[in-house]
Structures are given as structure tokens and as C-alpha cells.
Structure 1
Amino acid sequence: MDAGNMAVTGRPASSDWGMEARATLALSAPIVLTNLSQMALALTETALLGHLGTEALAAGMLAVSLHFALLAPGLGLALAAAPLQAQARGAGRLAGGAGRGWVRAVRRATRAALWAVALVLLPSWALLWEAAAVLRALGQAPELAELAQDYTRAAMFGMPAFSGFIVLRGFLAAMERPGAAMWVSLCVVVLNLPVAWALIFPAGLGVFGAGLSITLANMAMLLATLVLIRRDRVFRRFRLLGRVWRPDGARLREVFFVGMPIAAAMLLEIGVFSAAALAMGWFGAAAVAAHAIAIQTASATFMVPMGIGQAATARVGLAAGAGDAAAAARAGWVAVALGTAFMSAMAVLLVSMSPEIAWLFLDRAAPGAAEVAALGATLLVVAGFFQLGDGIQVVAAGALRGVKDTRVPMLFAALGYWGIGLPFGLFMARFGGFGPTGIWMGLGVGLAIVAALMLRRWQRLSRRGSARKQV
């Protein structure tokens, strides 16, 4: 492979790896900032609800867990647009950019993803409207379930906008110009803080106000991104929303074929963390609140490798669409290395600074804050130990999506999270004497197993012969 690279390019193979690292960093940096800004919305609301009280924080955690579990189908289909868009552009590069066939292919993939999102979110809306009944059936306290429903009934109307924004962000990543989505997200985060505070406290809407601010933020992100794309001279020619009301059966089937395994894998991953949150409810409001602190912190660090994985989808997809299997393999391995390096640093941070991080979410004068902070710090230490596995699995999954390999990773998620991780965690919590900490131990085991399986899968497909066959 290396000799071939020198023969074709006249450069040593190491320079190709260096160029790929720079290209991946350049593409992933705006995507990471976009992810972090979106995470900042949730972190802001968690902090605000924590100052409203332990019950409000616990109810918000339950609501967010259910909300994202039911968002998974729409989000998975939205993410399916990215490899289709990237491979279409890669094919255009292979043809020297001639013709408008690849432009139409990008447009069709975008429209089909928007249609798919709209179709799958309708059942999610029905369940979120009756969230209190769902949560009570899952064993949650009635008062927490009612508060959580206040959040879901307000936040659910932002789900289509958020999924649509993800589709457009995939388009921008495939075009290797993700900066617009980043600036939109950052501006929305800045504006959302005073809006959320005003709705939760002065307006007296509490948990409902937190959900409403998320809906407003998601709608603002979608509309602003559409405006920026429409005003850009290069992007305007794609006419992404032109005749969007006309369904494209062939491309819609492709989006479902690629996207449903992504959606299922995301549902399995989000679902296991949601199940963990529900299991925390068995140990009381303090345990749920501590879980909220740990999961929001771990989710914030996760945004970086997730962004690198999304960049890997675009980079691998561009190379795969152009028929360059060696470049596709190189793009995936560079992304895995970058994600591993970052999460190793985060592991050290979480383990060494856990008490200080926990108190960032709490008012020291609030009743029960000390108990929540102590348990939250313990959970953060456990989270620190599974950072590496979490980073590897999401970056490897992103690389696999670049070659449209989504069904096998879905099976890995089912085995690791639900077949081993969650049962082990519940056993350690109930019978091992570890309580809430045992649940997080199970999450760590599940992530480690999925990471190992994903990495092995990419290793096999990234070999030059297998990669060529796959793409």
C-alpha cells in the first residue's frame, strides 16, 4: 500500500497520514464545536434545574432520557444522509466534477432524509405526549413522572427541527464546509441561556420552560442554517428544499436501508443510558440527580470523539465514493487515533477532578446537595475509566458508516449494551452491593465490549482488499 502511494503521488506514505490528520482535524473541529454547543444547551438546563431543586433536576433527567430515546429513530435516519451525501460528492470528484448528476444525488439524499425523519417521529410524539403514563409504567415516582411530562410536552415539538439540522449539518460536512453549522449552534447557545433562565425562573414555567427553550433553540438552528445555505452562492445550486413535498421512493428506501440500523444502534445506546437513569430512580431522587451530573459531564466529553467520528464518516465516504480504498482506510485509522488521544486525556481529568466537577451543577445551600455531590463524584470516577472505550466505539462507528456498514455495528450494540453491560450493571447494583455505582460499572463494561468489536470490524474492512470490496 505504501509503495503504491509513493508511486502514484511521489510523496512518502507518512506525508499522506499527516495530510489526512490535518484534514480530519480541520473538518472535525467545527463539527466538535457544534456538538459541544448542542451539549451546552443540555448542560445549561441541567444546571438551571439543579438550582430549582433536586426534584426538578431528577424530573428533567428522566424527561431528557425518554426524549432522546424516542428521538433516536429520527436522529439515526438524519445521520444516514451524511454517508450518502459524502459518497455522492466523492463520485463527483472521481468524474472530475463533470455533469450535475452528483449534485442531484446529494439533493435527493438530503430530501429523502428529511422525509424519513418526518415519518418516524410521529409515533415518538404520541409517546412523549403521554410521558407521565410511560414513566409510571416503568416504575418512576408519580410526582417525578408528572414533572417530566411537562418537559417532554414542550420539548417534543423541537425534535423535527433538530433532526433537520442534523441532515443539513451532514450536507455541510460532505461539502467540507461545516463552519456555518458551528456558528449557528454557538449563537443559539449564547441566546438560549437568558431565554431558558427567563422561562424557568421569572416566567415561573419551571421544567416546562426548560423544554420550551430547547424547542425554540432547535427551531432557530434549523432556520438559521437554511438561510445561510440559501445565501451561499455555491450551496444555492443544490436547491436542497426544491420540490421537497415530492417523495423520492428509491432514495427513501436507501435512507431507510442505511439509516434504520444506525437508528437502532443509537436507540440501543441511548436506551441503555435511559434504562440506567430509570434504574437510578429505584434508589431515590438523589441517585437520579447524581446520575444527571455524571451523564451530562460524560456526554460533554463524548461530543469530541463523536464529532471526530462524524468527520470520519465524511472523509471515509468521500474516499469511498471516489473508489480510493487506501485513502478510506487511512481516514478511518487517523480518526480513531485522534479520538483515542482526546479521551485518554479526559479520563485523567474526570478521575482527578470529580468532586469539583460535581459541585458545578449544585447549589451548596440546597437541601440534599452534599449527598448528590458525593455520589455524583463517585459516578464521575467510574465514567473516567470508560472514556477510552466510549471514544473508540463512536469513532469506529463513524468510519464504518462512511462505507455504509451499519447493520453489523447495530448487532454489536445489542450484544454489548443490552446482552452484557446492562444485565451486569443491574446485577452489581442489586446483588453486588454497589447500588447506583454498580449500574455505571455495567455501562463501562458494555462500552468496552462494543469498542473492541467495532475496532475489530474496522480493522478487517480497512484492509485494502476488503475495503475495496466494501466500497
Structure 2
Amino acid sequence: MNKYFKEFRYNFKLALPVIAGMVGHTLVSVVDNIIVGQLGSTELAAVSLGNSFIFIGMSFGIGFSTAITPIIAEYDSQKDIEKGRTAFQNGLILCTILGFALFFLLFFAKPLLNFMNQPAAVVKLARPFLDIVGFSLVPLVVFQAYKQFADGMSETKYSMYATIIGNIINVVLNIVLVFGLFGFPKLGIVGSAIGTLIARIFMVLYMHYILSKKEKFKPFFNLFGWQSFEKRMSNKIIALGIPSSMQMFFEVALFTGAIWLSGMIGTTSQAANQIALSLASLTFMFAMGLSVTAMVRVANQKGLEDYPKLNVVAHSIFLMAILIEIVFAVVFMLFNEFLPKQFVNVEVAHQVKDTAEVVAIASKLLLIAAFFQLFDGMQVVVLGALRGMQDVKIPAVITFIAYWVVGFPVSIYLGLYTELKAVGIWIGLLAGLAAAAILLYLRFKYLLRKRL
């Protein structure tokens, strides 16, 4: 074990800015839900429904952008600046195109809200929210291109700064626009959407400015623009990006399906699902940070063709993820009743019954989340290691089987056809994540044995 512990310090140094940025971003989503939750369970359910569509588009965009990191990291270990510049600029062009494509896709998919067996009041509120946050996918995916490039260069702090400042802007605008403070109109959940859009635009502007001014990155901005498009490099990014986007899509779609199933059960179940999902997402960001670390460090060792070192590095990160998720599991088990109460307004008289039901359901879901996040953390760090090895096609198949052949059918049956309801839906999530963690690790061990 000592050889793994020796890697912890460097792993943590590389992962900490990523974790801070991701936790900050997710924390803002949690704060957004707390702010919207003060308006009522219907408003919270509407945000949940709208975000269920956004998460699908986001999964494609973020998943695709992760292809940039291992390519950049491999060229960085080989000191090949020219290929790194080409990879970065082509990745940025592709992400820009994808961002607009996702926005138009979501815009024209909006009528599907009417056919999802969701409460009419929830659907009515979700429509304008979806339009604005849908457009924010454009700056979000462009930001991801800058972020993944910087991560691949082992400079993870700049995206952290952008995210933290962007999050502060988001929270301030949310409070002001949702409740109509300082002379601004009271916009409700539409105000929350506007805050998100403005914050994401700022994050793109910040990343471009800060990276283009740093001496280390200046060579990568030469001949910056559409003239840098190169078919060969773009094809390489697409070949990695599409399976990577499908991996993330299959997982996010599973959780999106859980939101829709919860809405079919009722508004309180959907609101409780949103609370538990917000908290689980917050702790998941620690594993996501380690996943980026795994992707970068494994890609570096792949570029150097040092597979014994790759083995040690990867397993040290896997071990860190397990230890961290155990801590969070204990927190969820100890505070499963306290945490949900922070998301609702228990003092609104006409909502007392609904609020009590939301808290009761969410507290049960957190007990399941305590167990499933162990598998969720493991599957995402192993997936990061596999992306670092540029192995994406088979893992895409594995994630489809785990989430949609194993997990979602269990969620449907237990959620809609038994008395477990929302709890049954989350048991299905647990089954899918456990299958993914086990199968992806077996895939990693198989590839490693071949290289060794």
C-alpha cells in the first residue's frame, strides 16, 4: 500500500483545484435549489424538470470535451507544442459548433414536456426556464474546451478561478432576480436561469483572457481562429469525443429518467429526488476531480510508455476515491434527516404537509445515496483512467449495459409497480452504478495486463 500512498500528495495537488471548481459549481446549483425551494415545491419541481433536459445536453457537451484532455496531456509529456496547439484549437472549434447544436436541439425538443405525464403547473413553469438555461449550454461547452485544454497541461487552477468567480456572480444574480431585490423585477425561476446564463458567459471570457496572457500558453494561441481547423486532428477528437459523450449521456440519462419517474409519482417525490440528487452531486464532484487527475496522469504515462508507473498511479487514485466516498457515506447516514430540511421553507403554512412529505422522502433517498456514491465514485475515476488510455468505445458499451439494461429497468419496476416508489427508483440507480463500477474496473485491468 505504501507505493500508492506516496502518490497521494501529487494526486491531491493536481485534483484540488478541479475539485474546488466542481464543488463550487455544484454548490451553486444546491444554493439555486435552496433559493427556488423558498418559492414552493412546484417551483422546485419545475427547475428539476427543466434541468433534466439541460443535463442531457450538458452530458453530450462535457463528455465530448473530455476528449481534449488526454490528447493534450500526451502531447505535453512529449513536449510537442505544435500538435498540442492544433488539438486545442480544433477542440475549441468543435465544442463551439456542438454548443449551438445542443441549444437548437433542446429548443425544438421543448414540446416533449407536454407528453411526459408531468403535473401541468410544473410544465408551465419549466418552459421559459428551459429556453434560457438551454442557451447557456453554448458558453458552457466553449468553457469546457478551455478547461479541458488547461487540465491536459496539468494547469487545473485557472478553471477553478473562473468557476468560483462565475459562481459568485450566479448566486448574487439568483438572489436579486428571483426575489426582485434592489429595484429589479421579481422573476422567480426565470431569474435563476438568467443568472446562470450571465455567469457562464463570464467564465468563457475569463478563461480566454487569462490563458492567452500567460507565457506558457501563448504558443497555443498562434493563428487562433477558424483557419486552424484541421480535418485529421478534428477526426481524432471526434473519434474519442463521441464515445466519451455517450458514456456521460448514458449515466446522466439514467438520473434524468429518475427525475421523470419521480414526476410521474408526484410533485413531492420529484422535489425530494431533486434535493437528494443535489446533495449526491455535490459529493460526486470530489470523485470527478480525481477522475480528471486519473485522465491526465494516465495519459502522461501512456505518452512515456511507462505502464508499471501507470498501474501505480491509477490504483493510488482509485484508493483515494474510495476513502473519500466512505467519509461522505457516513455523513449522509448521520444527517439524512437534517440535510433535506435546508432545501425547503418549513414556515409556509399552506405548504406544511407537502414540505413534511418532501423531507421524509428525501431522507430515505440519502440513505441509499450513502451506498451508491461509493460505486459512483469508483466508476468515474476508472472511466477517467480509461480515457487517459484513450479507450472509449468498449467503456461506452459497458455504461449502456450497466445503466439501461441493469439500472433503469429496476428503477421502473420498483418505482412504479411497488410501494417503494421514489426509494425504488434510487435502488435502481444503485444497481446500475454498481454494475458500471465493477465492469469498468475489469476492463481497465484487462487493458493494463495487455500493456504490461
Please give the residue correspondences for 1:423-462 in structure 2 after superposition, counting only pairs within 5 Å: 423-462=409-448
Contact 1:131–1:152 (8 Å) recurs in 2: no
Out of 179, 200, 206, the residue aligned to residue 178 of structure 2 is 200
1-side partners of 2:102 and 2:262: how far apart? Answer: 23
- Separation in 2, partners of 1:434, 1:231: 56
Q: Which amino acid aligns with 1:459?
A: K
| 2:25 aligned residue | 38
8 Å contact kept, 1:132–1:148? no
1:116-135 map, 5 Å = 116-130=94-108, 132-135=110-113
Asked if the contact 1:59–1:147 (Cα under 8 Å) also holds between the matched residues in 2, the reply is yes
Q: TM-score, normalised by structure 2?
A: 0.95
Are positions 1:255 and 2:234 aligned together?
no
Distance 1:261 1:103 in 2: 26
Asked whether 1:167 is paired with 2:145, we answer yes
CA contact 2:301–2:310 (8 Å) conserved in 1: yes
- Written as runs of structure 1 = structure 2, the 5 A alignment for 1:17-166 is 17-92=4-79, 102-130=80-108, 132-166=110-144
Range moving further from structure 2, 351-360 or 188-197:
188-197
Q: 1:456–1:381: structure 2 CA closer, same or farther, 3 Å change rule?
A: same
> Does 2:336 align with 1:354?
yes
Aligned mate of 1:322, from 298, 304, 315: 304
In the alignment of these two chains, the number of paired residues is 444
In 2, the alpha carbon distance for the partners of 1:389 and 1:278 equals 23
5+ unaligned residues in a row in structure 2: which ranges?
A: none
CA offsets, 1:383-431, max 9 Å, x none?
A: 1111110110000000100010111111111111100111011111222
Amino acid at match of 1:421: G
Q: For structure 1, which segment, 203-212 or 54-63, has the greater mean C-alpha deviation from structure 2 after superposition?
A: 203-212
Q: Which has the larger displacement, 179-188 or 314-323?
A: 179-188
Which residue of structure 2 lines up, in the alignment, with residue 386 of structure 1?
A: 372
Give 3-state SS (helix, strand or coil) of 2:226's partner: coil
Question: 1:448 deviation in Å?
Answer: 0.4
State yes or no: 1:395 paired with 2:381. Answer: yes
2:355 to 345, 359, 369: 369
Q: Do structure 1's residue 295 and structure 2's residue 282 form an aligned pair?
A: no
Measure, in 1, the Cα distance between the counterparts of 2:120 and 2:102: 21
Preserved contact between residue 41 and residue 214 of structure 1 (Cα < 8 Å): no
Judged with a 3 Å threshold, the aligned counterparts in structure 2 of structure 1 residues 170 and 126 are, in CA distance, closer, same or farther, namely closer
Q: C-alpha displacement at 1:229, in angstroms? A: 0.7
1:138 Cα shift?
2.2
**Aligned residue type for 1:171:** F
Match of 1:244 among 213, 226, 232: 226
2: distance between equivalents of 1:282 and 1:45? 24
Amino acid in the other structure paired with 2:239: F
Whether 1:221 aligns to 2:217 is no
From the superposition, tell whether residues 119 and 189 of structure 1 become closer, same or farther in structure 2 (CA, over 3 Å).
closer
In 1: Cα distance, 2:99 partner to 2:12 partner: 33
Structure 1 gaps, min length 5: 1-12, 93-101
3-state SS in 2 of match to 1:433:
coil
What is the CA deviation profile of residues 55-109 of structure 1, one whole-angstrom value per residue up to 9, with x for unaligned ones? 11000001111101022222121111001110111222xxxxxxxxx11211211
Distance 1:55 1:135 in 2: 15
1:46 Cα offset (Å)? 0.8
Q: Distance in 2 between matches of 1:251 and 1:145?
A: 42
Q: Is the 8 A contact 1:115 1:252 kept in 2?
A: no
Equivalent in the alignment of 1:99: none
Match of 2:160 in 1: 182
Aligned residue for 1:417?
Answer: 403
Q: Which residue of 2 aligns with 1:3?
A: none
Preserved CA contact (<8 Å) 1:60 1:151 = yes
Displacement of 1:124: 2.5
Aligned twin of 1:6: none
1:9 is aligned to: none
Indicate if the aligned counterparts of 1:315 and 1:402 stay in contact, CA closer than 8 A: yes
Give the superposition deviation at 1:246. 4.0
Q: What SS does the aligned partner of 1:307 have? A: helix
Moved more, 323-332 or 387-396: 323-332
- Counterpart of 2:451 in structure 1 is 467
Seen in structure 2, the aligned counterparts of structure 1 residues 245 and 288 have a Cα distance that, compared at 3 Å, is: farther
Letter in 1 for 2:451: A
Q: CA deviation at 1:444?
A: 0.4
Distance 1:55 1:245, change over 3 A: farther
Identity of aligned residues (%): 25
Amino acid at match of 1:87: E
Deviation string 1:224-274 (CA, Å, 9 cap, x unpaired) is 111111221111122177133542111111111001111011111110100
Q: Is the 8 Å Cα contact of residues 174 and 318 (structure 1) preserved in structure 2? A: no
Decide whether the 8 Å contact of 2:173 with 2:192 is kept in 1. no
Q: Distance in 2 between matches of 1:28 and 1:172?
A: 13
